[in-house]
Every structure is written in structure tokens, then in C-alpha cells.
Amino acid sequence: MNINGLINKVVNMFMRRAVNKGIDHVARKGKPMAEMTPMERTQAQKAREMTKRARKAASITRRLGR
């Protein structure tokens, strides 16, 4: 593997983590889990599940487009 491909893999890995952290932060509305009410926790959990479903749908769509 050439060095450019390796750099792209590493950058993509870090970007994926950063995007996931950002989505989780938005789902929690910036609050730590300890400060959230039970209703807010369930809402944050639903937001994470919805995000997961959207990612799967995007993945399937990309796979079908090949």
C-alpha cells in the first residue's frame, strides 16, 4: 500500500470518530448523562438509534449503487 492510501485511512478513521462524537453531543444537547432527566435520556437514546439506522440506510444505498 502506498503512503497516500495509508494517510487517507488514518484521516478517515479520525474523522469518523469525530463525527460520531459530534452526533452524540448533539443528541445529548450538550449535557452529561448524569445531569439529564430520564425523559431526556430516552430522547437521546432514540436520537442515537435513529442516527444508526440512517447510517445503515446510507451504507445499503451506496452498496446498491455499485
Question: What domain range includes position 32?
Answer: 3-64
4-37 pLDDT, tens digit each: 999 999 999 999 899 888 888 888 778 887 788 8
28-48 pLDDT, tens digit each: 778 887 788 889 889 888 988
CA 24 to centroid of chain Cα atoms: 7
What's the grid cell of residue 5? 492510501
At position 36, the amino acid (one-letter code) is: M
Domain count, the chain: 1
